[in-house]
Amino acid sequence: MIIKYWAKSKKQFIWQLILSVLSTASYVVVPIFIGRMVGALSSVPNLLFNFLMVIIFALLVYFTNRAARLRGAEVSSRAIYYLRMDISNAIYRQSFSYFDKTETGQLISRATSDIEETQQIFGFGLVLGLQSILQMIGVFIGFITFSIELSIFIVIAFLISLSLSYYIAKKLKPIFLETRQSFGELTNTIRENIVGAEVVRIFSTQDKERSKFQKNNNRFYKASIDSVKYTSLYMPIIYLIIGSLTILIFFIGGIWVIEGVIGIDIVVTLASYIASLGFPLMMLGQIMLVYIQADAALTRVNEVIESAPEIVDSPDAIPIDAIDGEIEFKNVSFGYISDNKILKDISFRIPSGKTMAILGTTGSGKSTIINLIPRFYEVNEGEIKIDGRDIKQYQVKDLRRNIGIVSQDTYLFNKTIAENIAYGKENADKNIIIEAAKLANLHEFINSLPEGYDSIVGERGTRLSGGQKQRLSIARALITEPKILIFDDSTSSVDVETEYRIQEALARIMKNTTTIIITQRLSTIRNADIIMILDRGRVVGLGNHEHLISSNVLYKQIYETLFQKQKSKI
């Protein structure tokens, strides 16, 4: 997966490779001239020449290394850019069922902190990893050029560091996975406490939530400490290896100098190579740790990216130019969990332009029915048709564009009123926005605000009352001019008079729109063309008010109960 995102910047990578080779060549040459400086102590011109060569090649190392890092920064930035885009697109394409099963905090963690964890491997990890490998090869070649016998020590040093790296990596991988998982739990706990702040305070459960946070925080702390126990092993051992090799080279080289086998300049050159070996060895160890961290983070990120949505267009799906809005359920059964059916063998038909009210006891499947029409979920059995065609044969985007939904739980974005109303219609004209607001009986209220339609609603619409939020939600649904309108108890937060005004304004639109309403308002129920009664996921009554009130016991009970409740509020 890492290579996949590196490959997004092939040109920059090739330039980085060339510059890294030049940097390494200069890096390997420097110890030679350092050794020659010692050998030229009897001649000032030779000493000066070798000194200048050290400076020149050191500067070459600096400039080529810096240029390589700049190219590496481009590679890493582009890799992170595409990684963010991929996880963002993966989240956008997921079906409702995915969010039912996945904690929001974990998703936020994967899309933010987990991706941040990969920054280093795409950044300096690539640059330094490449340079370290090249430098090790260069140092080894330079070393055996001067002493094949002593090069065995470099091989031993490399094997020790490689074995140590493997051991630490094996121990750290599950620890880093635990770190990322526990951090995700921390994020989720914080999110729940912010979003559910009101509920926490209503029930005075702050201590309980603190305890939950502390538990997750301790889990993250323990995983972090465990990782340090192993990461702290590498650097001291590398320092020990480099120090021991330096002493050995001076000891054995000193004996050979005394015996006249080699000159002191060769010993200094070899010692310089040993010193040069320290940086690539330490960097390879560091990169190994960064890689393990990035791999743990990318494992979690990849789970999101590779998650296939349950709702997709069929290969022969057709676009929708226009629909009449006739809806038909044929023997539909469905359960959010496959072995626990919410709806059982549901069948009904709504002619285009007609209104159907859905009544039923709590948990009878009312909201589930309206979630199936736009294909938020896939039916387990049976089929749903619009205009005589199975909805699976339509392109999902077109299907949903023709359906307006007003939910009881209204979500508003922290933007202006106008932007929230026009959310589903790009480049909506101001007059169209105002017309939708008038239909939702919201125009007068908006004009009473100092900034009118440019007023910010606050996060989740906190600056509006429940009724105002619901009316704004209605306006947002109407502006798209859908052929099918669905109201999920969407006027429960408005008073009777306001509801009457809304219904009166909607009457003209609803004449040409197929409308499904989940409601407890008697006036809406009585005026519906069709009333469907649900009980335990089955249709137990279907017809108009006059028919059901005289023939359906459950409908009569529900109707009389609602009548008494609403009568007591008058």
Side chain identity at residue 224, one-letter code: S
227, containing H or E segment: helix 206-258
pTM for the full model? 0.69
Supply the angle between the helices 124-146 and 10-39 in degrees, to the nearest 10. 40
In b/e form, how buried is each residue of 122-150, taking b as 16+ CB within 10 angstroms? bbbbbbbbbbbbbbbebbbebbeebbeeb
Helices marked H in 384-454 — which ranges? 396-401, 417-421, 430-439, 443-448
User: d(Cα 552, Cα 550) in Å, to the nearest integer?
Assistant: 6
Q: How many angstroms separate the first and last alpha carbons of the chain?
A: 65
Contact between residue 332 and residue 381 where contact means Cβ atoms under 8 Å apart = yes
Distances (CA, A) of 453 to 247, 414, 426, 430, 501: 78, 13, 17, 9, 21
Q: Of 159-163, 281-285, 324-328, which one has max mean pLDDT?
A: 324-328
CB 404 within 8 A of CB 515: no
- Cα 487 to Cα 476: distance, rounded to the nearest angstrom: 12
According to the model, what pLDDT value does residue 332 have? 93
Count of alpha carbons within 13 angstroms of residue 172, beta-carbon side: 28
Would the pLDDT of 54 be above 90? no
Give the model's pLDDT for residue 568. 59
CA distance 324 to 482: 10
Banded pLDDT at 348 (limits 50, 70, 90): very high
pLDDT-based confidence at 251, cuts 50/70/90? confident
Q: Indicate the length of the chain as a whole number.
A: 570
Query: Residue 358: what are its φ and ψ, rounded to 5°?
Result: -115, 125
- Neighbouring C-alpha atoms within 13 Å toward the C-beta of 281: 29
pLDDT at residue 293, as a whole number: 74
| Residue owning tokens 């060769």 | 266
Q: Is the pLDDT score of 554 beyond 60?
A: yes
Counting Cα atoms < 13 Å in the Cβ hemisphere of 364 gives 17
66: helix, coil or strand?
helix
pLDDT confidence of residue 425:
82
The arithmetic mean of pLDDT across residues 558-564, rounded, is 77
Model confidence at 477: pLDDT above 80: yes
DSSP state of 521: -
Please give the full DSSP string across 441-505, using - where no structure is assigned.
Answer: T-HHHHHHSTTGGG-B--GGGTTS-HHHHHHHHHHHHHTT--SEEEEESTTTTS-HHHHHHHHHH
Angle between helices 124-146 and 151-195 (to 10 degrees): 170
Single out the residue of 130, 146, 184, 544 nearest to residue 192, CA to CA: 184
- Indicate if the pLDDT at residue 493 is higher than 60: no
Q: What percent of the chain has pLDDT over 70?
A: 92
Q: Mean per-residue pLDDT for 382-397?
A: 92
In a 3-state reduction of DSSP, which class is residue 383? strand
The pLDDT value recorded for residue 330 is: 94
How buried is 565 (Cβ within 10 angstroms: 0-12 exposed, 13-18 middle, 19+ buried)?
A: exposed
Which of 558, 531, 537 lies closest to 357 in space, CA to CA?
A: 531
Token couple for 43: 């001649």
Q: CA 487 from chain center: how many Å? A: 31
* Pairwise pLDDT comparison (203 vs 424), residue with the higher score: 424
Domains of the chain: 2-305 (1.20.1560.10), 317-402+485-492+519-557 (3.40.50.300)
Report which DSSP code applies to 123: T
Q: Give the per-residue pLDDT at 501.
A: 66
| Residue 456: φ, ψ to 5° | -80, 135
Mean pLDDT of 132-138: 78
Report the C-alpha gap between 534 and 541 in whole angstroms.
Answer: 7
DSSP 365: S
- Find residue 384's DSSP bridge partners: 329
Q: pLDDT value at position 392?
A: 92
pLDDT tens-place string over residues 436-450: 888 888 888 899 988
Average pLDDT, the chain: 82
pLDDT band at 389 (very low <50, low <70, confident <90, very high): very high
pLDDT band for position 502 (cuts 50, 70, 90)? low
- In terms of average pLDDT, the best of 164-173, 302-311, 540-549, 558-567 is 540-549
Query: Average pLDDT for residues 27-55, to the nearest whole number?
Result: 80
Count the Cβ atoms, other than its own, within 10 Å of residue 288.
22
Q: How many angstroms separate the Cα of 30 from the Cα of each of 4, 119, 127, 133?
A: 36, 32, 21, 17
Nearest to 480 by CA among 409, 408, 397: 397
Pair 269, 31: CB distance under 8 Å: yes
pLDDT, residue 382, reads 93
